A and B are shown apart, each in its own frame.
Chain A
Amino acid sequence: MFFKKKLNHENVESGDFPLKSNHPDVVFLDNACTSLKPREVIEGISSYYSEFGSCALRSVHKLGKQTTTAVDHARKKISQFVGLKKAEEVIFTRGATDSINLLCRSFQWSEGDEVIISSLEHNSNLLPWIALGEGQRVNLNIWNIDKDGRFDLKELEALLSKKESKLLSLCSDSNIIPIDLPLAEIISLAHKNDVLVHLDASQTLLHRPLNFNDLNFDFMSFSFHKILGPTGIGALCLKEEHYDKMKPAILGGETVVNVTNKAYVLSDPPHCYEAGIGSYAEIFGAVKAIEYIEKIGYSQIQKKEEELSLLMQEGLESLRGMTFLGPGLNSHLVNLYLGEMDSGELSILLDKNYNIMTRAGVHCGHYWYNQNQLNPSLRISAAFYNTESDIQRLVEALQEVSKNYL
């Protein structure tokens, strides 16, 4: 069509998500970066300021006690959400990046220890380990996942079987390409070789459950902003027995029970790992996010995302100039090239011309892109609150771009 046709923005389900009501014409397909927030979460955050407004664990007045009770409840709720037995097995952090850094710096390494990660990790699960190797003599081994998402478990097994290997730190889902790692097999391989397993669950919990009970891993990190919650809050979850292998790397208020001029007595975990005032408002929001996910249910979430993935697959696979990174299309996350077009320019065209929010670049996976000599690409990531019409608009937009701009 030569002249621009008027866009039809019907069918936008905005009810639960105020951002959708405030921007009814926007299609948000950058959910791997951060998720939208339900009204309950936003209200949960403000309820802290309007109804509690105090410090947990410190003040004995009634508002302080109420805050302490609410934070304890939140910790319990989160521990149950990830299949842990005790609330104490959840350490609040600022997000996944903070959690991984905390694990990296608090773990008591011995000289020569080795950490294994995959080549597909987000910078947040790569840089802390590189930095650890610079300071102490802890070596990093990288298990290769190629540009089509192929990997060799034998290669991983060889790394795990080295006697120096101490920890395997892997994403349970990637923010770059859709990949289905055989986690149960990997975890049992690691444990057979006495290697602990840390999962970076940042890209998982919005889409499917991940549970200490089912998979028996040792540590898990995630950010709440990726699972409907607020920014600035995350968790490092771990089995209680692993506290023995750790020592807090950051100290301050709440981390000690007594101090002299030369010594201090640490408080019990998790408090000794949570230096400084807590992000209470964000914790309140985080609980609401979990409650929202539980209300919808993972089975509903997965069903909806499968439908959206199928629509994307049908709409995109035959487009002129379209190539996909990774194993394929049947996922809520798609990473693509459109001809030779620059991913940044494509993302801006989608935004400015079609009001579709996507993400361009190397998605904090510089290492993987460099290793595979790949150009930056465009990532489209849907979530259960996206609609069929969102996907339809995306497909129509990409059809038009492919026709007119290539």
Chain B
Amino acid sequence: MLDTGCCGTNLRNDRISFWGYFTLAFPALIVLSAMYPLSFLIGSERRGKWKTIVVSLYEMSKRIILVPKLKLFISTKIYLISPVLSGFTFKLFNLFWMMSMWFLLAWIVLTIQRLI
């Protein structure tokens, strides 16, 4: 959360819980995106709905508070090279982060399994 004193930047009323997104919406987003080519088999109307769900899940990811200072730090540094890349980093930061956490979790589980 951005800490900017009493001016209340942190008072958003449409925040999404990190854990809810991480465990439900994020896997759904990954699965639905990965399987998107299949949507071409189910007709254009259903494909439209599929796309809407994927886009909404992606948009939701922006409403999670996840190390915002790091996100801004990285994006503003990248801005010095390219505004487009900076915007790209800014938009996808939460997804990158969650993806890394899933990989980390998977790695931990696999390592423990191997040790056992």
Contacts and interface: CB of A to CB of B under 8 A. Distances in A.
B4 A361 contact: yes
A404 B78 CA distance: 13
B6 interface: yes
A369 B59 contact: no
A174 B2 CA distance: 25
A2 B82 CA distance: 6
Interface string A354-381: 0000011111101001000101100000
Interface string A272-306: 00000000000000000000000000000000000
Contact of A342 (B8, B12, B81, B88): B12
Contacts of A400: 83
A404 B84 contact: yes
Interface stretch (A141-149, A240-248, A344-352): A344-352
Contact of B8 (A347, A366, A404): A366
A263 B59 CA distance: 69
A373 B11 CA distance: 10
Nearest to B5: A361
B15 to A, nearest CB: 9
User: Which of the four size classes fits the interface of chain A?
Assistant: 20 to 34
B50 interface: no
Nearest to B84: A2
Contact of B72 (A348, A363, A366, A401): A348
A340 interface: yes
A363 B85 CA distance: 32
Contacts of A401: 87
A373 B8 contact: no
Given A359-B7, A361-B8, A404-B83, A353 B14 contact: no
Given A4-B80, A344-B9, A345-B72, A360 B91 contact: no
B11 A369 contact: yes
Interface string B1-42: 010101111111110000000000000000000000000000
B76 A375 contact: no
B11 A362 contact: yes
B86 A376 contact: no
A405 B88 CA distance: 7
26 contacts: A1-B83, A2-B82, A3-B81, A340-B62, A340-B63, A342-B2, A344-B9, A344-B10, A345-B72, A353-B86, A360-B7, A361-B7, A362-B7, A362-B8, A363-B7, A363-B8, A364-B7, A366-B8, A373-B13, A375-B11, A375-B14, A376-B10, A376-B11, A401-B87, A404-B90, A405-B75
Interface of A: 1-4, 340-345, 347-349, 352-353, 359-364, 366, 369, 373, 375-376, 400-401, 403-406
Interface of B: 2, 4, 6-14, 59, 62-63, 68, 71-72, 75-76, 79-88, 90-91
